[in-house]
A = this chain, B = another copy of it.
Amino acid sequence: MPRKPRKGDVAADEAVYGAIRRAMHMGRLSPGTKLQEPALARVLGVSRERVRKALHRLVHEGWLTAIPNRGTFVPSLTVEEMREIYDVRSMLEGAIVRRLSESHSAVAARRLKAHVAEEKAATRRADRGRLFELSGEFHVLLAELCGNDELTRLLRGLLIRSTMHFSIAAPQQFTNCAGPHDHGDIAEAILSGRADRAAKLMLGHLTGLVDLQAGRPARNQPVDLQVAFRGIDGQPAQSTGSRRP
């Protein structure tokens, strides 16, 4: 028996939420898959109400779509929706790199350099998993360096949805961003204070990502939940910000 849900365990909610999120992130769930509550509860070893709550949360966050009295399904993202997400990202991240180019602290410069160095190291090691994470965190890092929590939270949500399309459409390909060269060039432009160049590079970077995925249609194939969640267990995911009044 792996583990029994104990009293007042708030981590259990996060575990279920994270398990589903991770399964989607790993491309185990094809678009159109119906996530049945009893089956999930049996596979994950928790009560149905807990699965229910996690499903509702995921639906509200946009990861899943719910049809009343029918169930919750893995959405099939269209290319158009993906283009819109990247379009919004272009607006935000264009403004972000401009602002950072115009003014940034010494700490910000150091963190940016460190991140690029880490990406290069991961590239040399051919550690695609780590590179996948770092590539996404690069964009979040830029938002963080602006010192705006709201901005960071918003961009993280957009990034998640971007990677969701990656995961659903092309789970095998682990290249989150086109290449670390882009990130290095963008960072260099920021650090040297060339705002226009940084913004232009960022826009090109994002449009490149769109083109990379554009011709990659998602295929709908039935999925067995038993195997989809094999090896995915209760590792608690990152907790979303719950602020005190």
Contacts and interface: CB of A to CB of B under 8 A. Distances in A.
A88 interface: yes
A92 B66 CA distance: 29
Interface in A95-126: 95-96
Contact of A245 (B32, B94, B154): B32
Contacts of A68: 10
Q: How large is the interface on A (under 10, 10 to 19, 20 to 34, 35 or more residues)?
A: 35 or more
A154 B154 contact: yes
A237 to B, nearest CB: 15
Contacts of A31: 245
A232 to B, nearest CB: 22
Contacts of A243: 65, 75
A245 B65 contact: yes
Contact of A150 (B60, B87, B95, B151): B87
Task: Identify the interface centre among A10, A67, A76, A91: most chain B CB within 10 Å of its CB.
Answer: A91
A57 B56 CA distance: 9
A127 interface: no
Interface of A: 8, 10, 31-32, 53, 56-57, 59-61, 65-69, 73-76, 81, 84-85, 87-88, 90-92, 94-96, 148-151, 154, 158, 242-245
Given A65-B245, A81-B149, 4 more contacts: A10-B68, A65-B242, A81-B150, A85-B150
